[in-house]
Amino acid sequence: MSTHTEHQAPQGREPLDVNDPKLTRFDIVREGARRDDIEIVHYEPQVLPGTKAERRLTRVVAGFFLITGLAATAFLAIYIWWPWQYEPGRGGDKFYTPLLGATLGVALLAVGFGILTWGKKLLPKEVSIQDRHEGQVDSEGRTITGQTMLYMADELGVKRRPLLGISLLAGLAPVGAVVAAPLVGGLISKPHKNNQMFTTGFAAADGGERIRLVREDGRPIRPADISAGGQLTVFPGIDHGVSNRHADSPTLLIHLRDSDAQESRRANERIGHGDYMWGNYAAFSKICTHAGCPASLYEQQTNRLLCPCHQSQFLITDNAKPVFGPASRRLPQLPIEVDSEGFFVAKSDYTETVGPDFWERP
């Protein structure tokens, strides 16, 4: 390539006089490129002026732009006049969003294709070569800059007067801490305020009454409300007991069948929780000990409780021991009984920590 050899030594080339009236505009463009170490080695129109191909491509591009106009107008018309308010059931409003998306999408795609066709098909193809100046390290420049910086350091005289540097560092370190302090100090919040990580909504106030188990709507529960094999999500019967303020309190109350209940009771006795069940009823925390999702898929036949987030499985009849998946700790059991009015109450708060594990969990 002849152009390439010329390119190797751009310094050796005489710059053109760009005011020379004999030069065409392209000559000046090419000269400009050369001054930027670029050689235009190939420049070829893709369509010749006045040909059928040019007229055809022009029509295509214009067509795209007109489609854009149509689609954008349609978008505006739909945006203004189409019924958009949500109505229950089937109705025109269900097509509002799809129509907006379709018209906007078509408008944008068409303008995109129009511009692409214009650029790719109507403009001349070119191949230009630009020099990277790779590997031509400006060692003189490095020396000068390096020496300048060293000179500046000398002028500051930190080497001769080390006290300055040390005192500056000593002075700046607290300033850095001053920047961080309000942020850290403002955000930091003691995790064990009111023993909150180890208690739930079932913790009775000092000397207060035992807390009832209630449904989502706040009504207390009688044993007869759950049939054998059934289960119900229950909450502490306190203010906001059903809300997210007591996100660690949701509990699953299960009415086990006779044989399962006996097995459960034996398992309870093994770990000294002999009095946690009431009759054939057992209550376990619904908050998975793995990542805190509600373990809420209860399979009656196998007495397994599955957490849908990471598929930990807990065997209810064995103290809700994790039998599969990533959970490593059993679901805490809530000791329950029935009060004098015949409603379920919690004998005490959970005796184990509810929810996902953490470092200082005893």
Partner 1 sequence: MKRRKFDLAATPGKAAVGVDDRFAVATPLRKLLNKVFPDHWSFLLGEIALFSFVVLLLTGVFLTFFFEPAMTEVVYDGSYAPLQGTPMSAAYASSLDISFEVRGGLVMRQMHHWAALLFMAAIVVHMLRVFFTGAFRKPRETNWIIGSLLFWVGFLAGFTGYSLPDDGLSGTGLRIASAIMLSIPVIGSWVTSSVFGGEFPGTIIISRFFIAHVLLIPGLLVALISVHLGLVFKQKHTQWPGPGRTNNNVVGERMFPRYALKQGGFFMVVFGVIALMGGLFQINPIWLFGPYEAWVVSAASQPDWYVMFLDGSTRLMPAWEINIPIGDGYVIPPLFWPTVVLPGILVGLSTMYPFLEARQLKDRKSHNLLQRPRDVPARTAVGAMAVAFYIVLTLSGANDVIADKFQISLNAMTWAGRIGLLVVPPMAYYVTYRLCLGLQQHDREVLAHGVETGIIRRLPDGRFVEVHQPLSASNGHADGHGELEYVGWVVPKKMNRLGALGPAIRGFFYPIEKPVEAPVSPGHPPVEARPEREEIGSGESRR
What residues from 248 to 277 belong to the interface with partner 1 (CB under 8 A)?
Answer: 248, 250
| Residue 187 within binding range of partner 1, rule CB under 8 A | yes
| Residue 50 within binding range of partner 1, rule CB under 8 A | no
- Buried b or exposed e, range 287-300, using 16+ CB within 10 angstroms: bbbbebebbeebee
Site for partner 1 in 272-311 (CB under 8 A): 286-287, 290-294, 296-297, 308-311
Our CB check for partner 1 shows the closer of 53 and 168 to be 53
Report the side by side order of strands in the sheet with 231-236: 213-214, 231-236, 251-255, 281-285, 333-334
Compute CA 348 distance to the chain's CA centroid, rounded to the nearest angstrom: 39
* Angle at alpha carbon of residue 202, lines to 270 and 348, rounded to 5°: 45
Site for partner 1 in 203-232 (CB under 8 A): none
| Residue 123 within binding range of partner 1, rule CB under 8 A | yes
Our CB check for partner 1 shows the closer of 267 and 307 to be 307
Which of 23, 325, 347, 352 lies at the binding interface for partner 1 (CB under 8 A)?
325
Q: What is the CA radius of gyration of the chain?
A: 39
327 with 314: CB under 8 angstroms?
Answer: yes
CA distance 214 to 246: 13
| Residue 166 within binding range of partner 1, rule CB under 8 A | no
Residue 50 C-beta: closest distance to partner 1, Å? 16
213 with 336: CB under 8 angstroms?
Answer: yes
The size of the interface with partner 1 (CB under 8 A), counted in residues, is 102
Q: Choose the stretch contacting partner 1; rule: CB under 8 A; options: 104-112, 152-160, 165-173, 202-210.
A: 104-112
**At 206, phi and psi to the nearest 5?**
-55, 120
| Residue 65 within binding range of partner 1, rule CB under 8 A | no
Residue 242 C-beta: closest distance to partner 1, Å? 8
Q: Choose the stretch contacting partner 1; rule: CB under 8 A; options: 17-25, 114-122, 138-146, 264-272.
A: 114-122
Our CB check for partner 1 shows the closer of 127 and 149 to be 127
**DSSP code at position 204:** P
Our CB check for partner 1 shows the closer of 160 and 192 to be 192
Q: Choose the stretch contacting partner 1; rule: CB under 8 A; options: 100-108, 153-161, 163-171, 266-274.
A: 100-108
Q: Choose the stretch contacting partner 1; rule: CB under 8 A; options: 145-153, 159-167, 172-180, 317-325.
A: 317-325
Cα 30 to Cα 24, 37, 119, 225, distances in angstroms: 10, 10, 20, 90
Give the residue among 197, 194, 219, 192 at the shortest CA–CA distance from 205.
194
State the helix-helix crossing angle for 52-81 and 96-117, rounded to 10 degrees.
Answer: 160
Our CB check for partner 1 shows the closer of 216 and 275 to be 216
Which of 73, 147, 328, 351 lies at the binding interface for partner 1 (CB under 8 A)?
328
Residue 340 C-beta: closest distance to partner 1, Å? 28
Tell me the residue type at 336.
I
Give the residue among 201, 211, 297 at the shortest CA–CA distance from 242.
201
> 250 is written with which tokens?
């949701």
330 with 267: CB under 8 angstroms?
Answer: no
Residue 286's CB: how many other CB atoms inside 10 A?
Answer: 24
| Residue 81 within binding range of partner 1, rule CB under 8 A | no
Site for partner 1 in 6-45 (CB under 8 A): 7, 32-33, 35-36, 38, 40-42
Site for partner 1 in 134-153 (CB under 8 A): 134-135
Bridge partners for 314 per DSSP? 305, 322
Q: Choose the stretch contacting partner 1; rule: CB under 8 A; options: 12-20, 108-116, 204-212, 260-268.
A: 108-116
33 with 128: CB under 8 angstroms?
Answer: yes
Q: Choose the stretch contacting partner 1; rule: CB under 8 A; options: 15-23, 166-174, 242-250, 260-268.
A: 242-250
| Residue 76 within binding range of partner 1, rule CB under 8 A | no
